[in-house]
Amino acid sequence: MSIIKVRDREFEPYLTAEEINGQIQRLAAEINHDYAGKRPLFIAILNGSFMFASDLFKAINIEAEICFIKLASYKGTKSTGQVVTAIGLDTDIHERHVIILEDIVDTGKTLKEFLPQLNHQQPASLELAVLLHKPEATEYPVHIRYLGFSIPNKFVLGYGLDFDGLGRNIPEIYHLKGE
C-alpha cells in the first residue's frame, strides 16, 4: 500500500484488507455466539456500510435476516449535522433482535437521531455493530456493542467509505494525509 490521490487530496495507508477482515471475523464470531437461536435482523446503513455488511453477513452462520436503509449526513470530508433518510425501513422490527450495521461513528449524530425511531417500534433488542469509531470526534455518545476499530479523528476512505463519491471500491482503508 502506498499514498493514493482521490480528487485533489492525498491519502495514506491505514488498515490493510487482512486487518479489516480479522476484526470482521472476530465480530461475526461474537454475534454468532450471542444470537444463536434468536434469528437476528441486521439493518445495514447505506451507502458506506455496504462492504462491511456484506463481509460480516457472509461470516454469520446462524439463522439471520438483513435489510437496508439509507441515511446521510456527510458532504465532502465534514459532517453537515443534518441527517436525511433517503431510503426508509420496509421491515417490521417489532419484537425482533435488531443489529445495526454502520461503517463509522464520527460525531454520533446519525445514530443518535435514528436509534429512537427504531426503539419506538419496540424491538426485542437493539445493538450496534460498527467498523470504525472516532472517539475524539464523538459529540453524541452511543453504545457500540460490536466495534471493529477505534481510530484517530482523521477522515478515512476505502472499503465502502468515500470522499465525494470516490474511493468506495478500494479494499483497504486510507486516511487523509497530514490531517
Q: What is the contact surface with ligand XMP in residues (CB under 6 A)?
A: 48, 73-74, 79, 102-110, 155-157, 161-162
Minimum gap (Å) between residue 61 Cβ and Mg ion: 26
Q: Which does 162 bind (CB under 5 to 8 A by kind): Mg ion, ligand XMP, none?
A: ligand XMP
Q: Is 34 a catalytic residue?
A: no
Alpha helix stretches (DSSP H) within 75-171: 109-119
Q: Which is nearer to ligand XMP, 40 or 108 (CB)?
A: 108
Contact with Mg ion (CB under 5 A): which of 48, 148, 158, 160?
48
Identify the active-site residue in 55, 106, 162, 164: 106
Residues, the chain, total? 179
How would you classify the pairing of strands 41-46 and 9-15? unpaired
Pick the stretch among 20-28, 89-97, 102-110, 145-153 that binds Mg ion (CB under 5 A).
102-110
- Own/partner pairs, 135-142, CB within 8 angstroms, 24+ separation: 137/106, 137/107, 138/105, 138/106, 138/107, 138/108, 139/107, 139/108, 139/109, 140/107, 140/108, 140/109, 140/111, 140/112, 141/108, 142/105, 142/108, 142/111, 142/112, 142/115
Pick the stretch among 61-69, 101-109, 122-130, 165-173 that binds Mg ion (CB under 5 A).
101-109
**Active site residues per annotation:** 106
Residues binding Mg ion (CB under 5 A): 48, 103
